[in-house]
Structure formats: structure tokens, C-alpha cells
Amino acid sequence: MAQEKMTIEKLAEMTNEGFKTTASKQDVAALHSVMNQKFEAVESRLDRIENLLMEEQKRKLESLETRVKHLEDALAV
């Protein structure tokens, strides 16, 4: 089987074919925008979860402090 010679024209055609499937700057910018929106949504949800967990911890600590105070009062410490 004889090898075909690589001509400048063939190389140009191959290069052009490769660029047909390459994302444009606009495609990348649009994807970047979508990804930023999704990351902001995730960040917002994580912030909300963090705040809920912090509030729960605060309530538990306050309850524990109250219970310890009752024990101290009962034991007259």
C-alpha cells in the first residue's frame, strides 16, 4: 500500500476539519456564564445549610447551658 504524500492542501483540509468541532470564544463564554450561575446556586445552598447547622448548634449549646445551670442550682454549687 503506497503512502499518500501530505500536501499543503491536505494539511489545510485536515486543520479545517479539526476547527469545525472546536468551541468558539462565544461558546466558551456562554458555558462560563452557565457554570457561574450553577456554582452560585450551589454556593447559596451550601451557605443556607451552613446557617441551619450553626443555628442548630447554637440551640443545643444554649439548651446544654440551661441544663448545667439547673444542675448547679440543684446541687447548690
- What is the average pLDDT across 18-28? 87
Tell me what percent of the residues of the chain surpass a pLDDT of 90: 64
Q: From the CB of residue 16, how many other CB atoms can be counted at a distance below 10 Å?
A: 9
- What is the average pLDDT across 69-75? 94
Question: 0.75 exceeded by the pTM?
Answer: no
| Strand ranges in the chain using DSSP code E only, listed in sequence order | none
User: Lowest-confidence range among 7-11, 55-59, 64-68, 70-74?
Assistant: 7-11
Q: Tell me how long the chain is.
A: 77
User: Lowest-confidence range among 17-21, 25-29, 52-56?
Assistant: 17-21
